[in-house]
Amino acid sequence: MKIILTHEVSGLGAAGDVVDVKDGYARNYLVPRGFAIRWTKGGEKDVAQIRRARKIHEIATIEQANSIKGQLEAVKVRLAVRSGDAGRLFGSVTPADIASAIKAAGGPEVDKRRVELGSPIKTLGSHQVSVRLHPEVAAQLGVEVIAA
């Protein structure tokens, strides 16, 4: 099935790309969650609009991504969350929580979709998080989760 991506999807493409995927993946995952729309001849007009919007929000060059990477790696990110006696959290830390903590710590504004967690953060302590700034540049960020 041919679809038009409306958001960046890891391993598939960026917003505005026209890709061919299996029917079930498009019908059951991408389209219901708003990551894609079905391709039509009229949808080609949407592609140009999506690409213009992507260009505005996108980090254009590798040099710009490297400068933002330096800013991110210099920031000390601390998150205060509710936890139990054994150090386990009530819930988990989400990419949106990390993006807002980066901004609160004085770092650059980061889109929550660019924050990649290797596994869910469900304990107190220090954790490593990757922020994908450009297809070729990713910043490794240390996040300290403390009890609130």
Q: What is the pLDDT of residues 33-66, one digit of tens each?
A: 999 989 888 877 777 777 777 666 566 677 888 8
DSSP 8-class letter at 112: G
Q: Using 50, 70 and 90 to split pLDDT, how confident is the model at 97?
A: very high
pLDDT score, position 49: 76
Structure pTM?
A: 0.67
Q: Is the pLDDT of residue 101 over 70?
A: yes
pLDDT score, position 65: 83
Q: Using 50, 70 and 90 to split pLDDT, how confident is the model at 22?
A: very high
Token pair belonging to 137? 């540049």
d(CA 109, CA 70): 13
Long-range CB pairs of 37-44, under 8 A, 24+ apart, other chains included: 37/3, 37/4, 37/6, 38/1, 38/2, 38/3, 38/4, 39/1, 39/2, 39/3, 39/4, 43/4
pLDDT score, position 57: 59
pLDDT score, position 137: 84
Name all domains of the chain by residue range, CATH numbers in brackets: 2-57 (3.40.5.10), 62-147 (3.10.430.100)
